[in-house]
Every structure is written in C-alpha cells, then in structure tokens.
Amino acid sequence: MTSVSKIAQWKALEADAAGLAETSLRGLFADDPGRFERFSLEAAGLFLDYSKNKITDAVVDHLIALATAADLEGARARMVAGEAINATENRAVLHAALRDFAGRTYHVGGEDVSRLVYAERTRMKDFCGRVHDGAVKGRTGKALDTVVNIGIGGSDLGPLMAVEALRPYWVKGRRAFFVSNVDGQHLADTLAQLDPETTLFVIASKTFTTEETLTNAQSARAWFLAQGGAEEDIAKHFVALSTNEHAVAAFGIDADNMFRFWDWVGGRYSLWSAIGLSIALQVGFDNFEKLLRGAHAMDEHFRAAPLRENMPALLALVGLWNRNFMGAGAHAVLPYDQHLHRLPAYLQQLDMESNGKRVRADGAAVGCATGPVIFGEPGTNGQHAFYQLMHQGTDAVSADFIAAAVSQTELGDHHEKLLANFLAQPEALMRGRTQEEAREELTGEGRTQSAIDRLAPHKVFPGGRPTNAILMEKLTPETLGALIALYEHKIFCQGVIWGINSFDQFGVELGKQLARTVRGELAAIGEEKPAARAHDASTNGLIDRINAIRRRAEGN
Ligand code: F6P
C-alpha cells in the first residue's frame, strides 16, 4: 500500500493548488456565473453548496480521480457487505444496517444481523410505548416521566445532541437528563432535580466497562437506595444499553431490562441502535424511527450516487482539498440553529476519534495530514467569539455553515436575522476586503488621511476562506438523520482516501491506563501517602501538591 500522497492524482492536486496560488475565490465567482449551480447538489432533504471553496472543475476532476485511485467505491461496497473493514479490531462496520428500511439483509460472520436489529428495535418500541402510556411503573406505582441517560462519548453525545435538536418533538411532560462526566458534580447536580419515584436511569455503555459510566451508575444506584428504594426495586428504575450481557448482569440489571447492540456498531456511530433509547423515550418512538429513515435516505444516496453527484463524497473531497492542499488545520462546524448547539461536540468525537490517526491501516505512516481539529458553536454566538481569527487570523480555517430555511420555532423576525448572518458570514469569508475597499470605506466615514493610512491595514480581510453551506427546509427528525449520516459517510470517505482505519480509537487508551496508576497514588482525603515517584517530575510534583492540599482541607 503506497501513501496516497505519493500517487499521481495527489501530485496533480499539488499542481492545481500551486496554479491557483494567485487566483482569488472572489475572482473565480466573478469569472463564472454558473459556479453555484455546478458546485451544489441536493440529497435526502439537504442542499449542499460547496462553491465557496477554492476549487475549479479541474480540481474536482482530480479529487474524484484521487478517490477512484483509493478505491473509494470498492471500500463503500465492502462496508455495506459487512466485511471486517475495521481491521485492527476485526469487526464489520454496519451502522447503516440499523436504519435500513429497504428490506436488505446484512450478514456478519454468516449470521443475518438484520433480524437481530429488527427484533431489538421492536423491543425498544414496545418499551417506549409502555413507558409513555404509564404501564411501566416505578416502585411506588407512579409512571416514569424522567429519564437520566448515564453514558459518555458515543453513549452520550449522540443521544444528547439529538434530544436537544428535536426539542419541539418532546413528548409532553417528559424530562431527559444526560450525565457523562466522572466529576461527581455532574451527577449530584442532576440528582438534585429528580424525583426518585418517577425516574428511569438508562445506563448506556457499549462495553459496560467504562470507568466514568460505571462510577456514575453505581452512585445513582446508591442514591436510589438511599431515597427509600429497595434492591428489588432496581429493576423498575434501571435499564442498560450495551453489547456486554455479562457485565450488565454483574452490575445487577437483568436481561429483560437490557437493550442490546453489537460489536459491529462503533460507539460514535451508535445512536441508531439501542443507544437511541433515550431519544425515543423523549421524542416518541415514531420520531426516533423518522430519524432513522432520514439517515436511511442519505445511505441510499451515498451507496448509489456516482462520486461526482455524491454529497458525502464531495463534502469529504473538498474537506480533504482544504486540509491537504489549502493548509486548513481546523474545521469549524457552525449550525445557525440553537437546537443544534451540541452538534459541534458530537462531530468532534465522530470526526476526531475516527480520523485523528497518524498511521495507515497497514501500520505505515500516513505521509500527509489527516483529520483536522473540529470545533464550533451555534451561530450567531460564534461570531462574537472566534470568527475574528477565521476572518483575519494567520491560519486558514474551513467551515460548514448549517441552517434551516424555516425555524422550528418562529418568533418575530428572529429567523430572518439569523439567516441574514448565515448568509453574510460565508460571503465575507469568501470575498474579504481589499486595501482599496478598506481605504474607500474609511474615506466615506470622513477619516483624515493619516487615520486612513494607520487603520487601513487593520481593515483588510484576506478572503478566500473556504466554507460549505448545508441548508434544509426545516430541522425535523428526518433532516437531522440525513445530516448525521452525511457526516458519518464524509468521515468514512476521507479515512479511505488517507488509508486509515476510521473505526478504531486506540489513542484514548494511554491516558486511561496512566489514570489507573495515578488513581492509586492519590491519597483519599485526610490520608497520609508517601510521595509518588513513579512519574516524571511534573506529574510527581502535582500529585504531591494535590495530596497535601487535600490533607489540609480535611484538617479544616
Ligand atoms: O474512550 C473512547 C470510547 O471508547 C468511545 O469510543 C466510546 O464512545 C466511549 O469511550 C464510551 O464507551 P462505552 O459506550 O463502551 O462506555
């Protein structure tokens, strides 16, 4: 396997980038009235405008040629065929099977997993129905109107993001909380808002071994018992979402209260599985199913559309162009929709845990930059925080601007103002402002010549900052599903071209291992512990200091 950066198609793109060095994006628009039509497309209820990237037809041709040389279409076929494309963990990658409504069958190791998916989804539907109509009761006979999802990473971010995005669809009278951090304040602050008689704890963990989740689950259990619950009441107030039946049983949750998924569902790709139970409980199972159907519509587009008309593939390719040839090391996710406020956090895990890799699937160095730093905030908040750097900083940052033409919640002229910003910011990033324009504006303000000379450099915007616009009619369960699937497939396409395995995450392990060692060296409050000496001087010094402070705090 050769590094992608060594092949002819890569060299052609390097030549394209060099050839465009003196060309402005503004100029590309001025010279080509058909640019918007050519560099935009629609699929699964989403419209993508990628014309505000510094690309030409030749660049797109070369990007498609690169994807073809990397056998993107073959990799796509291998994924949907259930091959163990997650080679380092020897696992298939079949989250699309969780939302297949086309009647396809998916096999893993000879087993038809479509039947398992359907059976588990039916159990979820039945459970949701019984919770919603009050048939599932707490220990004192009251209906359960509150869900606390205890999970972290993919067992938290997806459900949390979706529940927030679908606020107008919440089932009346229901409350949902999400506890992820091992910082006890997260759980304690949540518990303070709960009625133990009407709360259902949903313990979400693919492995059921994650320290944060098990610690929070044990503490929630202890709280429940301290509030008057008995051991035999646990079954009424705790359910588990996991692949690990043994660990769930060891925790004390019986099989009837467990909703299963499988090792071919990656944690960050799991909201479509049993991990979506908290979504279904909060927005209703029908809306959860619509979310799956929206993702399915994007899957159908992704599997069938030729690369040149394929939204995830094109989003991946312009992203790769910006990352590898335009020098953009960071990518901003900017939803102009308050209900999508957790989308950037969700995509941080999806993208950075998938493509934050430095070796190829065969273990050799990748030889080029891979996944960018993902960050973001809802618009317009980000405009008053970090957009300064995007407009005038020294580093190129690419961005996705995401909006719905119709708000979920119309209020006066708020939405027009929001959309005006959604449109104006990418235009400003693309156009920039020249010296002459800056001077003209200052002259128009009646500034003196010396003020104009002094201020003009500060008022220049280089422009040419690459952005995509993703527009939908309205944020609904369907369009949200399509949006998430769009990003899942985009990330997959980039991973294939870089030659990395996007489906493992060994990079999170080292810190976890070290934390276990350090945990044994931190003194309990008030306890005398000899100074730890097993680490570097900085870690040792901090351990000593924390132990000393905690001893002192106990003394007070
Ligand atoms: O630490 C990373 C990770 O393994 C993620 O990939 C995963 O989403 C998260 O931890 C939680 O894992 P689990 O669902 O097994 O508790």
Look up tokens 């709360």; give the residue. 199
Query: Which atom of ligand 1 is nearest the CA belonging to 154?
Result: 8
| Rounded distance between C-alpha atoms, residue 349 and residue 347, angstroms | 5
pLDDT tens digits, 482-524: 999 999 999 999 999 999 999 999 999 898 888 888 888 887 6
Residue closest by Cα to atom 16 of ligand 1: 205
Strands (E), 347-455: 373-375, 397-406
Whether residue 216 has its Cβ less than 6 Å from ligand 1: no
3-state secondary structure of 206: coil
Contact 23, 463 (CB under 8 A): no
**483, burial (CB in 10 Å: exposed 0-12, middle 13-18, buried 19+):** buried
**Across the chain, how many H-helices and E-strands are there?**
23, 13
Question: What is the distance between the terminal CA atoms of the chain, rounded to a whole angstrom?
Answer: 63
Q: What is the mean pLDDT of residues 187-202?
A: 98
Asked if residue 479 has its Cβ within 6 Å of ligand 1, the reply is no
Cβ 505 under 6 angstroms from ligand 1: yes
Please report, rounded to a whole number, the percentage of residues in the chain having pLDDT higher than 90: 91
Does the Cβ of 205 fall within 6 Å of ligand 1? Answer: yes
d(CA 476, CA 166): 7
Residue nearest to atom 6 of ligand 1 (CA): 267
Residue 275 CA, ligand 1 centroid: distance in Å: 12
Partners of 366 in the β-ladder? none
Residue 213 Cβ < 6 Å to ligand 1: yes
Q: Is the pLDDT of residue 526 over 70?
A: no
Q: pLDDT at position 74, please?
A: 97
Structure pTM? Answer: 0.97
Residue 556 pLDDT greater than 80, yes or no: no
Distance 212 CA to ligand 1 centre (A): 10
* One-letter identity of residue 549: I
Mean pLDDT in the chain? Answer: 96
Tokens 């994807």 found at? 67
User: Mind telling me the catalytic residues?
Assistant: 353, 384, 512
Q: Are 521 and 534 in contact (CB under 8 A)?
A: yes
Name the residue at shortest CA distance from atom 2 of ligand 1. Answer: 508
| Separation of alpha carbons 330 and 307, rounded Å | 25
Per residue in 259-274, pLDDT (tens digit) is: 999 999 999 999 999 9
Work out which ligand 1 atom sits closest to the CA atom of 275: 14
Whether 200 contacts 148, CB under 8 Å: yes
Cβ of residue 243 lying under 6 Å from some atom of ligand 1: no
CA of 457 to the centre of ligand 1 (A): 48
CB distance 508 to ligand 1 below 6 Å = yes
Which value, in Å, is the radius of gyration of the alpha carbons in the chain?
26
Tokens linked to 387: 């957009």
Chain position carrying tokens 């030889």: 367
Q: Is the pLDDT of residue 5 over 90?
A: yes
Task: Give the dihedral sign, CA 499/502/506/509.
Answer: positive
Q: Under the phi-then-psi rule, with left for phi > 0, alpha for psi from -120 to 50, and beta for the rest, what region is 499?
A: left
Q: Which of 252, 253, 269, 249 is nearest to 261 (CA)?
A: 269
Report how far residue 380's alpha carbon sits from residue 253's, in angstroms, rounded to the nearest whole number. 44
CA-CA distance, 452 to 443, in Å (whole number)? 7
CA of residue 241 to ligand 1 center, whole Å:
13
Give residue 209 CA to ligand 1 midpoint distance, Å.
9
Instruction: Find the mean pLDDT for residues 397-415.
Output: 97
